[in-house]
Structure 1
Amino acid sequence: MKIRNLVSNFGQDSVHPISSENRTLGYFSTASLWIGAAVIVTTVYTGMLLVPELPFLTAFFITIIGSIVGAFFLISVGKIGTITGLPTLILTRGAFGHRGSILPAAALGIMYIGWTFIQTYMAALSLDHAVYYISGYNNINLFVFITAVLTVLIVLFGYRGVVAAERAVASIMVVLALIVFGYMFTKFDVQSLLMMKGSATPEITNMIGFDIVFVTVFTFMALVCDYNRYCKTTRISLVGTFVGYNIGNIIALGLGLTVVGFAVLQGLPMIYDPTDLIGQHSSIVSLIAAIVIFLSVLTTNVMVVYSATMSYLAIFNKHRFWIPALVIGMITIIGSFLKDWLLDHFQDYLILSGVIFIPLVTVMLTDYYLLKKSNYDANEIVSGEKKTYWYIGGVNYAAYLTFVIGTAFAYYFSFVFVLPTGATLFAVFLSFLCYLVLERIQRVLIDKTKLSSSMIENKNFF
């Protein structure tokens, strides 16, 4: 009986539209949500890729510009969720068709589960180091388990649990991050950091640096509608997300840039974790840094596991929310024990995420804002009764072909032949143009098919 009562309190979230009376996110809640999402250890780690390849100030400037440009894409997708009240991956039905949306939903769900592996291990590693500096005790497996279990417990309560966690943690995390920054700026030589020059033979150009920062926003694209559908107004969705994401992303990347910069100046190995840098000087501040890293992962992992669950429900929408959430949480625990293998492949995984997300998001934005004139029938997207988004046999082949072309282009110029400018913006423009052209060709073919069928029917009638 007690177990049944507990289960009844779990989240009952679904892919159906959220009505206006059930929307609870105001400006502060939305900004807090996206600060919590963006301040994440993987983004901190990304900062290590820019310094000392680039001069510190150049890298920091690129961080600001890349974050702002990326945020415009994020709020554009989030606005669709606010207007329709639908989560992200059920919205892919509008562009890809009811059957065609299954593959994107499955692919993104799997990608997000992979992110939880990396983030959980990095948070556990930071806690392990901090506890070791204080007590001499270390047990990475224990901290992996604790991080993953806490994530699952919060997600089981659905949207309510996610928002409660973000509200509680976001402000604390920002304050603690400022303490860590303040300590580093008083303990180490700030002037040398600001004057720090880049590598004489850099592998990362300014444009590739921008590309790396810009592509990080695409890892949040399949999350945004899952939460922004709860925003009270479109304005709250746009402003809260833009402000929150930029504050969080700049803090996280700035922390990574600063830590690796000070480490290099002191002749230490390149590290991204402030816990390691500070631990040799102050075990207390090191613990604060570890708490920042831990909370950043907890808040983002909660959002990622929730969205991975919603991607499952986008395919199997009659299942109960908490069951796939629990299963995905268990998979996260197991995957996190891959440990150092995850760090060794982090950069490739980041780029691969962009390779998949970029054409998908571009198709969604093009379809909604240009082709559908900012008008989706939310109830029809879920039910499919009128087959408005059925296209050809339930699949929009123009969207699929664009997705394949955009993904192939981004992969080739990110892994095989790396462009000195980066491939992200080119992939966006290519996917945009391809979809417009292919959708037009598909529409002409469909119209011709309908005309031929009509002529045959009329001929048989006479």
Structure 2
Amino acid sequence: MSQHTPSAFEHNTLEAEHVEHSLSLTGTFAMWLGANVVVTTILTGMLLVPNLSFLHAMLLVLLGSAIGIVPLVLIGVMGQRTGLTTMILARATFGRVGASMPAWVNLCVLVAWSWIQALLAGMSLDYAVESLTGYSNVALFTVLCEGLVVLITLRGHLGIETAEKIAALLMLALATVVFYALAHHYDLASITEVTAQGGLGNGIAFDIVIATAFSWIPLAADYNRHCKSVTAAVAGTWGGYVTATLIAMGLGATVSALSLSTGLEQTYDPTQLLSNFGFGLPAAFVIFFSVLTTNVMCVYSATLSYMSVRPSTPFWKPALIIGITSVLGSLIPGILDQFQNFLLIIGSLFIPAFALMIVDYFLIDRGRFTHQNLIAQAGRLPTFNPVAFFSYAVGAALAYYWNWVAPLSFGASLPVFVVTGLLYYVATRWQRRTRGMRA
């Protein structure tokens, strides 16, 4: 397998021995905070209210984010210990060729995420420019934003880490100012009195929060392999994500409840949303930067996913193509209206796959998860792992059935994760025992 040596503009590699351990506990916390205090997470909070009461929604946010982030933390630990990207780690579970399946799925999902992020960034920049000059062109600003995303992506993880720290500070400052202004101009206590209107059951709402956490799992090892220690990978990721989710979804739920109590029209345009409270222009710039940096993470990991299948490809080529694809996808009419369904689909696709990888590493045989086995001598790996694909198919079918055909009152995410992992564990043990008896 040919190796790709990173240039001055490409601080990335699939090779574990070249990984730079640049993330401290504080840096990891800031990275996952900056990645998730973002408009899409705010929109998720808006989805929950008024379907649920404010206090009920925030309880589900706390529980869902605290529990949903655990698999992400575990995949991140795998990356930190091995120095390998998420989709390279998938080779140990799915096989040398079989791992291309989750890699392609991850690539498609991250591109879809990038569509949404590119549109939101373009909308925010358009609002700012129109406020200052009167000129408006969302499509043009979306193209400009995505061009900047590609340029930052080519700087690799070091550029992303720096950008996320800045994004974390900016979004924390914005959230603080917005909450202060809302408390100053409105009776915040009134949001607890907004009556739940139904539409989302507890199970679906809980699944949406967990699916938000699961949507980040494919990126976990890509970034946490750069952590200086396991403690930084665990505490930094868990703390940063849960804090970010409470802030962002809390802000979305708060503004949604206030919009209803004050008679304002709800909107998916974040700058228009905040302009109703007097923060349109400054919010536009901050939201633009935060969405930009999150989109960079999506494009970077999508590129690594492609390289795990085509390792000889120069990094800049898939990064550029994915950036162009993101612009085209962002122009799809009504894409934001499908945001809720998109989150549920992510859960259906990723929960079973990563349940298998976590069980494989932590309960079955972590010795297979090495650079030597998965990269240097990858040709010796089995082509496919039938047990993994069978378990995944069962898990995906259960996710579909329990999400859309016969929804569970307590949500499908955790049952699917547990059942899929347990099935894989039992089937793998049985397969090895059978082989041992034959030998």
Normalising by the smaller structure, the TM-score range is over 0.9
Aligned to 1:243: 239
Aligned to 1:354: 347
- Alpha-carbon shift at residue 76 of structure 1 (Å): 1.1
* Structure 2 unmatched ranges of 5 or more: 1-5
Structure 2 counterpart SS, 1:318: coil
Aligned to 1:432: 421
Task: Give TM-score scaled by structure 1 length.
Answer: 0.89
- Alpha-carbon shift at residue 165 of structure 1 (Å): 1.5
Q: Residues 11-410 of structure 1: matches in 2 within 5 Å?
A: 11-18=10-17, 22-132=20-130, 136-199=134-197, 202-282=198-278, 285-338=279-332, 340-373=333-366, 376-384=369-377, 387=380, 389-390=381-382, 394-410=383-399
Check conservation: 2:11, 2:158, Cα contact below 8 A.
no
Check conservation: 2:202, 2:411, Cα contact below 8 A.
no
User: Is 227-236 or 22-31 further displaced after alignment?
Assistant: 22-31
- Alpha-carbon shift at residue 131 of structure 1 (Å): 4.4
Check conservation: 2:119, 2:142, Cα contact below 8 A.
yes
* Structure 1 unmatched ranges of 5 or more: 1-6, 452-462
Residue 316 of structure 1 aligns with an amino acid whose one-letter code is R
Check conservation: 1:92, 1:101, Cα contact below 8 A.
yes
- Alpha-carbon shift at residue 132 of structure 1 (Å): 4.2
Check conservation: 2:163, 2:293, Cα contact below 8 A.
yes
Residue 200 of structure 2 aligns with an amino acid whose one-letter code is I
Aligned to 1:417: 406
Alpha-carbon displacement from aligned partner over 1:413-436 (angstroms, at most 9, x marks no partner):
212332222211111111112111
Residue 252 of structure 1 aligns with an amino acid whose one-letter code is A
Q: Which has the larger radius of gyration?
A: 1
Structure 1 counterpart SS, 2:47: coil
- Alpha-carbon shift at residue 126 of structure 1 (Å): 3.3
Cα distance change on mapping 1:298 and 1:83 into 2, 3 Å:
same
Task: Give TM-score scaled by structure 2 length.
Answer: 0.93
d(CA) in 1 for partners of 2:131 and 2:264?
17
Alpha-carbon displacement from aligned partner over 1:393-429 (angstroms, at most 9, x marks no partner):
x211111111111111111221233222221111111
Check conservation: 2:96, 2:379, Cα contact below 8 A.
no
Structure 1 counterpart SS, 2:62: helix
Alpha-carbon displacement from aligned partner over 1:162-182 (angstroms, at most 9, x marks no partner):
122122322122112211222
Residue 292 of structure 2 aligns with an amino acid whose one-letter code is L
Check conservation: 1:45, 1:256, Cα contact below 8 A.
yes
Check conservation: 1:13, 1:158, Cα contact below 8 A.
yes
Cα distance change on mapping 1:274 and 1:341 into 2, 3 Å:
closer
Structure 2 counterpart SS, 1:48: helix
Structure 1 counterpart SS, 2:334: helix
- Alpha-carbon shift at residue 19 of structure 1 (Å): 5.0
- Alpha-carbon shift at residue 109 of structure 1 (Å): 0.8
Structure 1 counterpart SS, 2:13: coil
d(CA) in 2 for partners of 1:12 and 1:136?
40
Residue 288 of structure 1 aligns with an amino acid whose one-letter code is P
User: Is 344-353 or 354-363 further displaced after alignment?
Assistant: 344-353
- Give me the identity figure in percent: 38
Check conservation: 2:182, 2:277, Cα contact below 8 A.
no
Residue 275 of structure 2 aligns with an amino acid whose one-letter code is G
Cα distance change on mapping 1:193 and 1:127 into 2, 3 Å:
farther
- Alpha-carbon shift at residue 229 of structure 1 (Å): 0.5
Structure 2 counterpart SS, 1:148: helix
Check conservation: 1:12, 1:321, Cα contact below 8 A.
no
d(CA) in 2 for partners of 1:385 and 1:374?
14
- Alpha-carbon shift at residue 56 of structure 1 (Å): 0.6
d(CA) in 2 for partners of 1:127 and 1:186?
28
Cα distance change on mapping 1:305 and 1:385 into 2, 3 Å:
closer
Check conservation: 1:155, 1:302, Cα contact below 8 A.
yes
- Alpha-carbon shift at residue 248 of structure 1 (Å): 1.5
Residue 227 of structure 1 aligns with an amino acid whose one-letter code is Y
Give the root-mean-square deviation of aligned CA atoms. 2.0
